[in-house]
Structures are given as C-alpha cells and as structure tokens.
A = this chain, B = another copy of it.
Amino acid sequence: MSQNNSYTLTVSCKDQSGLIAEITGCIAKTGGNILNLAQHTATDIGMFFCRISFADAETTPSFSENLFKQNFEKTAEKYNLNWHIFNNSVKKRVAVLVSKTSHCLYEILLKHADGALDCEIPVIISNHPDLAHIATSFHVPFYQVDPGKGKEAYEKDLNQILKDYKIDLVTLARYMQVLSGDFCREWHNKVINIHHGFLPAFQGAKPYHQAWKKGVKIIGATGHIATEDLDQGPIIFQDVIRVNDTQSIEQFVNLGKDVERRVFVEAIRRYLAHAVFFHDGRTFVIE
C-alpha cells in the first residue's frame, strides 16, 4: 500500500478557522501533492481531526521531510496542533503476543504475507510454547516468557524483548495474561487487544457463555487499546455475526473466531494507516 516518498500527516486540535488552508498550504509549499485527505470536525465537542496522505509532487527541489517539519512547527505552535508526520516507507514494527489459540496469530501473519498489512512483524512472544511452530513456518523469531516468576519480572523480560526489537506497536492475539497498569502506561495507546465480545456488553471472561445464556441473536468482537481497566480501553473496530438459537456455546465460540480474527487485523490496519485519533477516552477513526 505504501509508495516511495509518500507521507501521512495527522493533525488534531481545537477547531479554528482556516486550519486546512494553512496545513495544506504548508504541504504544497514544500513540494507535496495530496492524494487523500479526510477531515472531520466533531462539532459536539469542538475538535478538529485531519489525516492527509501526500506524495512528492516531483517538482524541484523534491519534498523534504525536514524542511516541512521546520516550516510546520510554526503553524503547529500558532494553532496549538497535536501533529505527527510519518514517512510511509518506514514501516512500523509490530510484536504479536499470543498464548495457546492460533486463529488471530495466523490471520495477522497471512495478511502480512499477502501485503495487506503495511508493517514488519519481527517477533512473536508467548507465555506458552504451543504456537512456536507457526512462528517457525513463517520465519519469525519466537520467544517464550515465563509468567511463573511473577508479573514484575515477567513484564521486565517482555519489555526487554520489545525494546531489543525496536517495537512500535504491541498486539495481543488472544493473549491470556493481564498486563499491569505500569506496562499499559509505558505503552500508552500502543497496545491493541482483541476482546471476544461486543463491548461494552460481555466484559470479562467467557463472553460467549454469557451471550448464549442471555439468548442474544448477534455476537461480536472488539479491537481496542489495552488499558489498566480490563476491556475498557478506546475501541478501534468492532464487527458482529448473526447467531441462531439452534447453535450451541461451542458453535458460538467457533463462529466468534472468524469475527475475532477479522476485527483484530482491521483494528491493526486502521492503526497502521494513522487513521485512529484518541480523545477523551474514545477514538475517532478518520479515513
């Protein structure tokens, strides 16, 4: 999906007049040609969100990221912008944390191999040895970290691996360890979890059992940011599937897997596309 010399700029701030003209003017002046711009002002809360993809306009001189940053810094100060620029040729490094269940791990590896996820996957980490063979068959290093030594030591080991591999984003592919508040804060807005329920209903354990008992007619899954409050972090993507009352809990679990893996990868894709803005405990996905 990425192109040579293409960039994505994200901007959020309090809504003000003339923002887009100013921002897109900076891009044009430094030699960028906009390919896609999605902007939205949430008028209820007066917030401006904007995501711009642009390429080198092939004028002379060519677009310079450094020059743009210098110029844009003044605009950013004037309007008090929260902004980031990403060079799309620099791929994000994504770690996958797993336990014993394979469907989300397979999904991210297959989508990555197929070019549908614009990132690198340099490492897979688990608290169990069970899925090592999948890592091997996709030629990704696999680390087993032992939670038996206590959460603090365990997370120290985990953190070390993440840092060694220069990880930008941690993804929890049905990873069955609760992360500490310290870990979540250190990786603030950088840990994506898949919850096998349609949040905010069915928080906590065994959501499919809860759903069956309640006789719901639709089940779902939620891709969200992991926070200290379990299953309460900002939601990035959700999807559902219709179930019927001739289906058993076991069938709910199997049907749910399809939704989980789809939601897991789509949440990551949105994040990697820089389409996810965080504000006041929720996301705004603008693309």
Contact = CB atoms under 8 A, between A and B. Distances in A.
A285 to B, nearest CB: 5
Chain A interface secondary structure, helix, strand, loop or mixed? mixed
A285 B244 contact: yes
Nearest to A279: B215
Interface in A245-263: 245-246, 248-249, 254, 257-258, 262
Contacts of A218: 198, 220, 238-240
Interface string A211-222: 011111110100
Interface centre among A110, A212, A281 (most CB of B within 10 A): A110
B217 A238 contact: yes
Contacts of A33: 15, 17-18
A22 to B, nearest CB: 8
Given A198-B198, A200-B201, A248 B43 contact: yes
A102 B106 CA distance: 13
A28 B20 CA distance: 9
Given A24-B21, A257-B114, A262-B258, A40 B36 contact: yes
Contact-residue size bin, chain A (C-beta under 8 Å from the other chain): 35 or more
Contacts of A286: 245-246
B37 A114 contact: no
A19 B25 CA distance: 10
Contact of A245 (B29, B116, B284): B284
Given A110-B103, A114-B103, A245-B286, A37 B39 contact: yes
A199 B200 contact: no
A202 interface: yes
A100 interface: no
A41 interface: yes
29 contacts: A18-B28, A18-B57, A20-B28, A20-B34, A21-B24, A21-B34, A34-B39, A34-B41, A37-B37, A37-B38, A37-B50, A43-B248, A44-B212, A44-B248, A114-B257, A198-B218, A199-B201, A199-B216, A200-B214, A201-B201, A201-B202, A215-B235, A215-B281, A216-B235, A216-B238, A217-B238, A218-B239, A245-B284, A245-B286
